Structure 1
Amino acid sequence: MDKRIFNGKRLKNARLFRGLTLTELADHTGISKQSISLYENERNTPEHERVQVLASTLNFPYEFFFQKDACETVTEVTYFRSLASATKMSRTAQSIKLEYVAKTYEVLLNYIDFPHLNLPEISFDGNDDEFDDKCIEDTQQQIESIAQQVREHWGIGDAPIKNLQFLLEKNGIIVTGFNTQEDKIDAFSQRTIIGNRDMYFIAVALGERPEGRIRFDMAHELGHILLHPWSENLDLITKEEFKAREKQANMFASAFLLPKSSFSQDVQAYPTDLKYYQFLKRKWKASIQAMVYRSNQLGIITDNQFQYMMRQISKNGWRTKEPDDTPCALNETIFQGAIDLLIEEKILSASSVLRTFKQYGITLYRQDIEDLLHLRKETLFDEESKPQILQLKRPRNLADGGIE
């Protein structure tokens, strides 16, 4: 029988999952910062009562702190949109949450044949020098070509993409959403290795963001997946390098969502009429600002026209809220489909899904797992039938219709 030993690494993991510093957890629990640090580094073991306090404060099951991780997932780099302005703690918390998404995926792989990663082979050597016009032009042309290459590889032509989330999932990229209080994080993507299988996960921040912005965020993260290296520590690159990569991912998102040939043909009818862009927004499911930017990028409108139109957008108050903007919710994720399939086919019940996760060290409360996987509320809740211990009395002459 395995001896239960407190796992200090899991305490640190839970603290970071909740986005708390040592000082904040100390304030919430009444346990000194020095003691918590010793527990996390496994230089001391907390008493049972203190584990209960820590578990309750962090809202993690007690047994979580005595388990080892049985998953084989190896997370490498996480690309955060708006890395420069988001706090390191916010990024760390979201990165750890996405790691748990990857771990649940690894468990479900035992039961579900998920789509395999289907990306074209891309060659990109974009230059980071923002002051070299020739390099910028070459980079733009490369990205235009790559965006078209992806569309051809996925067989979607030049038409507007109706459901980008489904398209990504169909081609092996996992999408989920997080409700975050950190307004400076729009979206992020992560590369994970499961066995010998490379996986990419995209998470988008939900809340009040409209459809056009969510779609652009997903396409932006696809740009990182295709264009940029995943083997380096992003904290070690310069701000200028990061800004260049963000700009390149934006270029890709724009070229991918609004392909040069078909979008140009549409917009050339009234290229400086903002009312017309409002009309095109319903077709292309992109923001007016993104389409105006794309028109300028393609040379359909001049720099002066672009600046004038952006001033009009600001004057109309459209920088923050455009006409026809409504909060966008993700569609049901591939995780929802996987768990629904397991339950419908009676392979696992909702409660046995949780028990299976627990066997691999994913011991989280049901609500946390539902949030991480962007599941319908109470997907993982079922009332286990209780054994019947009561029976009706059967009078001896009941069969004769009489009453004893």
Structure 2
Amino acid sequence: MFYGDKLTELRELNGLSRKDLADKLSVSEQAVWQYESDKVTPRIDVLNALRDLMEVDTSFLFEPNMVTRGVASEGHIAYRADDRKSRKKTRTELTYLRYVEAFVDYFEGFLTQEERSIDSLRSMTKQQADKIQYAGSQREQNLEIENLAEVSRNYLGIQSNRDLMYKIENSGVCVVERNLGQEIDAYSTISKSGRSYIVLGTHKKSAVCRNFDIAHELGHLLMHQHQNIELLTNEEYKEIELQANRFAGAFLLPGAEFACGFATLARKSNPDYYVDLKSQYLVSIAAMGHRAYDLGLLDYQEYRYFSGRMNTLHYRKLEPLDDKIVPIRPGKLRALMEFVLKSRLTSVDHIRSLFHVRPQFLINLFGIDQHFFDQFEHEKHSYYGGAKVIRMPGA
């Protein structure tokens, strides 16, 4: 039996409209609608084209769906985006998260997992997060965000922002990369199983902007986990974005420590004098200037001059070191798959027979290296060196 809904999912996973898919298959848009509505089963040549285009076995479209529906809700996906209209992508991202969750569940099922420290942090700071939303004044809210950022950074054990990605992943947050287009920088959500996700866009992001995206989304996970984004007005939506931005600044640039480094600058309102601090903190000059203003290290006139110089020097588009600092890519999910495959708890052939997908499907889904399934030698962090293994029957 052909399952049209699975074709819809594959189309959405690949960011294709019905017309896009129709053009690639050399059929009409009406024909694609008929396939997805279970009114017509595609011809053999169309099935073969779908197989190669979507990186699945043909049997994928004729087997019941193994991917659980309702992994997350549209109202609980927090975007880091300039334009709220980009939320039209939510349905596509929900499909994406469903598949990611299915495969993460599969690979983690071979290991005994300790409690995720991000869950403990969320529970521990829930009262603080509530205070932020119901603060009586802006000053009170800002102080609570500062406190939350300090508690979170200490709890996660982040001493240097160079370890940010590793520490966030090790806390139990699933960080993945995906092409989100130019309008969306990143988004985050908590699945109904309780797993936290940060999805990072891949569109020409500098390392320092990526760090800010991660910290921004962490702020959403801690402060806005119970907010239904869809029900917010535009003003309320802007407010939670500002809260996440303030959290990110405080999290990446701890107040007292940053103030000490800032005091060494010869010219505090000139962006060119921030380059060494940028190298130290791996945070953009723009974010450091804003943080200095928030902390009262720059007065209004000084910050206005700083902003003007940022525009004159074209640093809004490209800052010094942006092309020198290499972005750190997520590594934990890759390490998880590597460990399970190396330990022969499963195999690529078994995964293919179980899920009816090709290796390239997983490469595209998780944004991992093209030759990952050919070479398993490289390992940067030992995420699973001491993990306990559950031997699965028949593995």
TM-score per shorter chain, which class?
0.7 to 0.9
Hey, what does 1:41 align to over in structure 2?
Answer: 37
Letter in 1 for 2:254: P
Q: Note the 1:22-171 alignment, pairs <5 A.
A: 22-72=18-68, 74-76=71-73, 77-82=76-81, 84=83, 87-88=86-87, 90-114=89-113, 116-119=115-118, 120=121, 121-122=124-125, 123=127, 124-125=129-130, 135-156=137-158, 159-171=159-171
Letter in 2 for 1:25: L
Q: CA deviation at 1:83?
A: 6.3
- Which stretches of structure 1, 4 residues or longer, exceed 6 Å deviation after superposition? 126-129
Hey, what does 1:200 align to over in structure 2?
Answer: 196
Q: CA deviation at 1:44?
A: 4.5
Q: What is the distance in 2 between the residues matched to 1:374 and 1:226?
A: 26
Hey, what does 2:364 align to over in structure 1?
Answer: 371
**Larger CA Rg, structure 1 vs 2:** 1
**Alignment of 1:174 onto 2:174:** yes
Is this contact kept in 2: 1:71–1:106, CA < 8 A? no
Hey, what does 2:373 align to over in structure 1?
Answer: 380
Q: What is the distance in 2 between the residues matched to 1:141 and 1:261?
A: 14
Is this contact kept in 2: 1:22–1:37, CA < 8 A? yes
**Structure 1 stretches of 5 or more lacking a match?**
383-404
Q: What is the distance in 2 between the residues matched to 1:242 and 1:46?
A: 43
| Count of aligned pairs | 363
Q: What is the distance in 2 between the residues matched to 1:218 and 1:84?
A: 19
Letter in 1 for 2:328: L
Hey, what does 1:345 align to over in structure 2?
Answer: 343
Q: 1:244 aligns with which of 239, 254, 278?
A: 239
Deviations 1:233-275 (A, max 9, x none): x334322222111111111111111111111122123333434
Q: Secondary structure at the match of 2:367?
A: coil
Q: CA deviation at 1:219?
A: 0.5
Q: CA deviation at 1:319?
A: 0.9
Letter in 2 for 1:106: D
**Alignment of 1:274 onto 2:271:** yes
Q: What do you get for the CA RMSD once the two structures are aligned?
A: 2.7
Hey, what does 1:385 align to over in structure 2?
Answer: none
Q: What is the distance in 1 between the residues matched to 2:162 and 2:343?
A: 30
Q: Secondary structure at the match of 1:318?
A: coil
**Structure 2 stretches of 5 or more lacking a match?**
376-395
Q: What is the distance in 1 between the residues matched to 2:333 and 2:2?
A: 31
Q: Secondary structure at the match of 2:370?
A: coil
CA separation of 1:315 and 1:339: change in aligned 2, threshold 3 A: same
Normalised TM-score (structure 1): 0.81
Identity %: 24
- Write 1 or 2 for the structure with the bigger share of helix: 2
CA separation of 1:247 and 1:332: change in aligned 2, threshold 3 A: closer
Deviations 1:310-343 (A, max 9, x none): 1101111111111111264334511221222223
Q: 1:220 aligns with which of 212, 216, 221?
A: 216
